[in-house]
Amino acid sequence: MLFALPWSYFGIQVPFSGNEYKLGLDLQGGIELDYKIDLSEAQQEEWYDAARKKAIIEGLKSIIDKRVESLNINDSVITGANYGGEEHIIVQIPLKGNDELQNWENIERAKAAIGKVVKIEFKEVRDTITETDIAERKNIAYRAYEDLSTNIESFNIEIQKYQNKYENIVSWTTMQIEEIFSGSGIVLNFSESITDTGISQEILEVKNLENEWGYLIYKLEDRTYSYIFIGAEPSIWIAAQDSKGRILDDKYFVNASVQYNDAFQAMVELTFNTEGAKIFGELTDRLVGNPIAIFVGWELLTAPNVNEAILSWRAVITGNYTPESASALAQDINTWVVPAPIYLTSERTIDAKLGQNSLEKIILAGIIGFISILLFLIFIYRLSGFIAAVALFIYIVITLAILKQFGVVLTLASIAGLVLSIGIAIDANILIFERIKDELKTWENLKKSVKIGFEKSFSAIWDANITGLIVAWILFIFGINMIKGFWFILALWILVSLFTVFFISRLFIRLLARSELNTKNFIWK
């Protein structure tokens, strides 16, 4: 009982009381993130159809579910939506009590993980940066300017598209855009006229004292700047291509796993398919003596020198990895290869006040219900009814302790189900008592009647609960994310109620039957 009580709710610190109960989105509030699915590239595929579209959407929902789960954020709700012909994914993430800092960190971690379009790619050092490369960066900037001008209402979405597609591009939102470049020798020229609802009338060429540094496109709205800065030069790394022009990227990737070298240092092993192994072998043969870099997105993970050609279908990412960090990286790689890009379009806070008020009412209803059942059992079944009430109380404590120990997320619906289960759990005791009463009419022997009453009621109780377990199993196999926890709670209360009936109630009732109590005190006939 000490373990099962929610001491932290009352602000009390009790040793060995375990972790806090994990509350769902409806009880502690949360954040709702709306992501638009960009199907433009997928629609160019020759085999794109309604089935392919559905597969992409369901695949994205599964990947997002794994990403949020890897962050140890409980009870996320992930659903699809269609707005004006656009496909969206809605992600609802619970907040953690009133800790604003932790809430903000959870939201930022989730946004960074969910919306990140990760591309695994092997690169080599660029020989030189040519005038063509410089011109292409300028073309990228002007294409971005044109797209942003055309789609000013989706300014932030267009920025995300360019950041996912090209390197050396950053964005931010700030009250004073000069702050971004202060102290770096950068000079901004704001001579161009701008409007409060538009973007810069011309691309600003941001320069330092010696040479061109990049291009700035910004939007000023409600005294807040949203900007995208495109570096004038590309990265020093360029995609590594084989003799057929194939780039070794996620198309040839199978999975990532954690391995250990001879010194028991953790590393991440990448496994390629057959074609990827051939490309990797050709690249390493050509780049002997030179570095080959592994990028996830635009993040450089490692750039080891190639000592000899590697003709196997495995590559290893080494570094100062701990088993935990290597495992996290492998999991990120496995879950971050998405079938279509997604872009955050909006976010809003979900209030939990309604859930808290309802929770208090449900708990009060549960207490009243338990007391009512206790009085009913004592009045109808005398001392045996009191024993059943004790067993019911033990059932409640055991169920709560298991939910707390295993970190099952409690939603308003699941708690209501637990309150309902209090009434259901006593059903088996009533069935047994009625059988005992029937046997007393025949045998007039308390011990024999108790024994036969339990034996004859066993099959009916077992059949009813087996049916409930089958329902729980079906929910587990075919249920969606939103009802993941319900099947567990359903199965749990069935198993715990069976335990309390056939072990706790049976033990106490048999002990009483062996005492000198008369039948009238034991049970009302």
Model pLDDT for residues 148-159, shown as the tens digit of each residue = 877 777 777 788
CA distance between the termini of the chain:
34
Those residues whose C-beta lies under 8 Å from the C-beta of residue 10, and which sit 6 or more positions away, are none
Is 189's pLDDT higher than 50?
Answer: no
Highest mean pLDDT of the ranges 192-206, 369-383, 402-416, 430-444: 369-383
Residue type, 57: I
- Residue 225: inside a domain, yes or no? yes
With contact defined as beta carbons under 8 Å apart, do 504 and 389 qualify?
A: no
Is 177's pLDDT higher than 60?
Answer: no
Predicted confidence band of residue 18 (pLDDT cuts 50, 70, 90)? low
Is 3's pLDDT higher than 60?
Answer: yes
Q: Are both 63 and 129 inside the same structural domain?
A: no
- Residue 236: inside a domain, yes or no? no
Q: Are both 148 and 260 inside the same structural domain?
A: no
Strands 293-296 and 237-239: unpaired
Strands 409-410 and 22-23: parallel
Q: Are both 370 and 516 inside the same structural domain?
A: yes
Q: pLDDT: is 38 or 8 the higher one?
A: 38
With contact defined as beta carbons under 8 Å apart, do 36 and 88 qualify?
A: yes
- Residue 168: inside a domain, yes or no? yes
pLDDT, tens only, 62-78:
888 877 776 766 567 88
| Alpha carbon distances (Å) from 271 to 334, 337, 366, 444 | 11, 14, 54, 75
Q: Are both 32 and 180 inside the same structural domain?
A: no
With contact defined as beta carbons under 8 Å apart, do 40 and 86 qualify?
A: no
Q: Are both 184 and 112 inside the same structural domain?
A: no
From CA 27, how far away is CA 9, in angstroms rounded?
13
- Residue 497: inside a domain, yes or no? yes
Which residue is it, tokens 């990947």?
63
65: nearest Cα among 416, 432, 475, 480: 480
pLDDT, tens only, 241-285:
899 989 888 778 888 889 888 888 898 888 888 898 899 899 999
Q: pLDDT: is 428 or 266 the higher one?
A: 266
**26: how many CB neighbours lie within 10 A of its CB?**
24
The arithmetic mean of pLDDT across residues 301-319, rounded, is 80
The arithmetic mean of pLDDT across residues 154-174, rounded, is 78
With contact defined as beta carbons under 8 Å apart, do 148 and 227 qualify?
A: no
- Residue 240: inside a domain, yes or no? no
Rg (CA), the chain: 32
Is 432's pLDDT higher than 70?
Answer: yes
Q: What is the pLDDT of residue 282?
A: 92
Secondary structure of 30-62 as H, E, C letters:
EEEEEEEECCCCHHHCCCCCHHHHHHHHHHHHH
With contact defined as beta carbons under 8 Å apart, do 88 and 33 qualify?
A: no
The arithmetic mean of pLDDT across residues 372-384, rounded, is 83
- Residue 487: inside a domain, yes or no? yes
- Overall residue count recorded for the chain in this entry: 525
Q: What is the pLDDT of residue 99?
A: 57
Predicted confidence band of residue 188 (pLDDT cuts 50, 70, 90)? very low
The arithmetic mean of pLDDT across residues 4-13, rounded, is 61
From CA 166, how far away is CA 141, in angstroms rounded?
11
Q: Are both 507 and 413 inside the same structural domain?
A: yes
Q: Are both 215 and 254 inside the same structural domain?
A: no
Tell which of 171, 201, 231 closes a domain: 231
Burial (CB < 10 A; 0-12, 13-18, 19+), residue 479, is: middle
Q: What is the DSSP letter of 247?
A: B
With contact defined as beta carbons under 8 Å apart, do 172 and 216 qualify?
A: no
- Residue 99: inside a domain, yes or no? yes
Q: What is the pLDDT of residue 186?
A: 44
- Residue 254: inside a domain, yes or no? yes
Residue type, 438: D
Is 505's pLDDT higher than 70?
Answer: yes
With contact defined as beta carbons under 8 Å apart, do 294 and 302 qualify?
A: yes
Q: Where residue 77 sits, what CATH number does that domain have? A: 3.30.70
Q: pLDDT: is 104 or 284 the higher one?
A: 284
pLDDT, tens only, 474-498:
877 765 555 655 677 778 888 888 8
**498: how many CB neighbours lie within 10 A of its CB?**
18
391: nearest Cα among 422, 414, 364: 422
Q: Produce one character per residue of 248-271: b if its CB has 16 or more CB atoms within 10 Å, e if not.
A: bbbebbbebbbbeeeeeebbbbbe
Domain residues for the domain of 42 are: 18-117+342-350
Predicted confidence band of residue 134 (pLDDT cuts 50, 70, 90)? confident
Q: Tell me what percent of the residues of the chain surpass a pLDDT of 70.
A: 78
Q: Are both 42 and 155 inside the same structural domain?
A: no
From CA 199, how far away is CA 221, in angstroms rounded?
9
Q: What is the pLDDT of residue 191?
A: 38
With contact defined as beta carbons under 8 Å apart, do 395 and 388 qualify?
A: no
Q: Are both 398 and 290 inside the same structural domain?
A: no
The count of structural domains within the chain is 4
Across the chain, what does the average pLDDT equal? 76
Q: Are both 313 and 453 inside the same structural domain?
A: no
The arithmetic mean of pLDDT across residues 133-137, rounded, is 88
Q: What is the pLDDT of residue 88?
A: 92
Q: Where residue 386 sits, what CATH number does that domain have? A: 1.20.1640.10
Q: What is the DSSP letter of 444?
A: -
Is 206's pLDDT higher than 60?
Answer: no
| Alpha carbon distances (Å) from 517 to 120, 251, 379 | 77, 78, 17
Q: Where residue 258 sits, what CATH number does that domain have? A: 3.30.1360.200
Q: Are both 212 and 252 inside the same structural domain?
A: no
Highest mean pLDDT of the ranges 91-105, 148-162, 276-290: 276-290
Is 185's pLDDT higher than 60?
Answer: no
Q: What is the pLDDT of residue 75?
A: 65
Residue type, 90: I
**296: how many CB neighbours lie within 10 A of its CB?**
20
| Alpha carbon distances (Å) from 303 to 122, 237, 238, 325, 337 | 9, 10, 13, 18, 21
Q: What is the pLDDT of residue 286?
A: 92
Predicted confidence band of residue 193 (pLDDT cuts 50, 70, 90)? very low
Those residues whose C-beta lies under 8 Å from the C-beta of residue 7, and which sit 6 or more positions away, are 13, 14, 17
Q: Are both 365 and 477 inside the same structural domain?
A: yes
267: nearest Cα among 330, 331, 335, 313: 330
Those residues whose C-beta lies under 8 Å from the C-beta of residue 113, and which sit 6 or more positions away, are 67, 68, 70, 71
Residues facing residue 347 across a β-bridge = 33
